[in-house]
Structure formats: C-alpha cells, structure tokens
Copies of this chain bind each other. A is one copy, B any other.
Amino acid sequence: MPKPVNTSASRREERPAAATGPVDKALAVLDALVQPDAPHRLADLAARTGLPKPTVHRLLHTFAEAGYAVPGPGGNYQAGPRLLGLAATALAASSELRLARPVLDDLRLRTGHLAHFSVRDGAVAVHVTQSEPSPTYRIPLTAGGEVPLYCSAVGWAMLSALPSPAAAELLGGRPLPARTSRTVRDPGAVLAALPAVRERGYAVDDEYAEQDVRAIAAPVLGPGDRVAGAVGIVGLTFTLDEESVAVLGPMVRAAAGTVSAALRGGPGALGIVRGQE
C-alpha cells in the first residue's frame, strides 16, 4: 500500500517553489508551455519558470526530440503532437470525466447555463471540462482555469464534503484576499457556512469571485467518500437570478449525485449512466 503523500496545499506562487530535480523542472516548463498567453519563446519560458536559460533550452530540446514540443515561427514553442495526444488521452481516460461528460451536457440543456466539472488541486479548484451553451454572454471560465476554493461554488462544495479539520487547513488562518465586495474573507465564516451547504447538498457563489457572476455547485464523491470533484453551473447574475437558484440547485445536486453513483457503481465498467439519486 503506497504511503500517502501530502498534496502541497499551498502552490501557485510566481516562482514555483524552486523546482529541484530535473523532472520537476521539466514539469514546470511543460506547464508554462501550455499557458494560453503567448509568446512562448525561450526567454519567456525561462522567466516564467524562474529557471536559467540554458536549462530551459536543454529541456525544450528534449521535448522537441520526443515530439512534446514544436518550435514555431519566431522561436515560439508550442505543444507538440505527443503532448496533445497525452492531454487528449488523459482527459478521455479519466473515469470521473468520462462519466461526467454526458451529465454535464444534460445539465446544460436543462438549465441553459454553462456546466462544468472541477477537481481540487491543493487550495484551488481546476476546471477540467465544461459544456457550454452556444453563443452566450462571455462567462469567465475556461478549461484548465483555476479559482481558489474559498471564493467559488465548486470550492465550497468540495470543502463541504471534506472533514472539517481538512477544510480548515485548506482555508488557512489569515484573512483571505477580496475578489469582489461580497467575497467572504474570514476563513471561520466560510467554515461556518459549510454545514448549511452539506445540508442543502449544493453551494452557491454569490459574486464571491467575480462581479455579476453567480454559480451553483455540488460535490462528487467517489468510492469510499473520496472527494472526486464538483459539478457546477455558472451564469451572469441577471440570467442566473436568485429565484432560479432554488430550482437549479437541486438539479445540480442531482447531477453530481448521478456522477457519484456511477463512479461508485463500477469504476469504468458500465457504459450507461444510471439516473439515480
């Protein structure tokens, strides 16, 4: 049985905690390479990762030889075919994602809002996949994007499914940075709100992270009550208004329940998703 590893609770400082081994450096460069904001020239990647230029140069060369990176025009590197294949495979092979996809599509159709699935990475939530309604108002949520747990519906949903001490540790002890005027900045207050979330079965983000954006989310539990992620919907406040929350909330909760049930039922075995819970 593998010994549990502490999943670094605090991350995402600009200098990523001094990558020590060559593997960590490689991961750091890969991570920088796929960030959407171009350009990805050698100097840019070196600056972003905080690694010396020759080191990044050597790594990029290794990646290019293996097909994980490709030198574009103007010295701009981009993700190579192997990396795209790896990414596609990873997303297609993940059992939670495979099960969540049809549920998200259904949820989007029935609510009319952007539906997404996020997983926890330390103290932030990462949006892994989404199902968006055709031309809509620009919702600030993109695949691969991140949002802190303390100011998001998916974050609260996942926190509510965690043991209280664990949630408290993830929130930390000091006041949290305000994202809007409605952000709940006191870790204690967030913690105090979780029982209600547990009770209702879904969490509501009322412009905590972004002005004019409201969200609803519910936790997805895997085998052994492990928190596998969260299902949520996002919309602008005048579309996703307060009255509809009471209607949409249970729908989000049910969707998360469907994914949870499928995840427990047979991890990857059954092809059909049972509509239970």
Residues of A within 8 A of B (CB): 1-2, 4-8, 11, 21-24, 26-27, 30-31, 34-36, 38, 59, 61-68, 70-71, 73, 75, 77-94, 97, 119-122, 126-129, 142-146, 223-224, 268
A88 touches B144 (CB 8 A): yes
| Chain B residues, Cβ within 8 Å of A90 | 34, 79, 83-84, 87, 144
Picked from B21, B24, B83, B88, the residue with its CB within 8 Å of the CB of A129 is B88
B26 touches A89 (CB 8 A): no
18 new A-B pairs (CB below 8 Å) besides A84-B128, A88-B91? A6-B65, A8-B66, A22-B23, A23-B26, A23-B62, A35-B93, A36-B89, A36-B93, A67-B121, A78-B94, A79-B93, A81-B119, A81-B121, A82-B121, A87-B90, A89-B144, A89-B145, A91-B91
| Chain B residues, Cβ within 8 Å of A23 | 22-23, 26, 59, 62-63
CA of A224 to CA of B81 in the docked complex: distance in angstroms?
Answer: 19
CA of A75 to CA of B79 in the docked complex: distance in angstroms?
Answer: 31
| Chain B residues, Cβ within 8 Å of A94 | 78-79, 84
| Chain B residues, Cβ within 8 Å of A129 | 88
| Chain B residues, Cβ within 8 Å of A71 | 2, 4-5
A93 touches B1 (CB 8 A): no
| Chain B residues, Cβ within 8 Å of A81 | 7, 119-121, 126
CA of A79 to CA of B67 in the docked complex: distance in angstroms?
Answer: 21
A84 → chain B closest CB, angstroms:
5
A69 → chain B closest CB, angstroms:
9
| Chain B residues, Cβ within 8 Å of A79 | 90, 93-94
Residue of B nearest to A42 (CB): B2
B126 touches A66 (CB 8 A): no
Most buried by B among A1, A26, A61: A26
B92 touches A36 (CB 8 A): yes
CA of A84 to CA of B129 in the docked complex: distance in angstroms?
Answer: 9
- CB-CB under 8 A for A1 and B75, given A35-B89, A35-B93, A84-B94: yes
B121 touches A85 (CB 8 A): yes
B223 touches A144 (CB 8 A): no
A88 touches B27 (CB 8 A): no
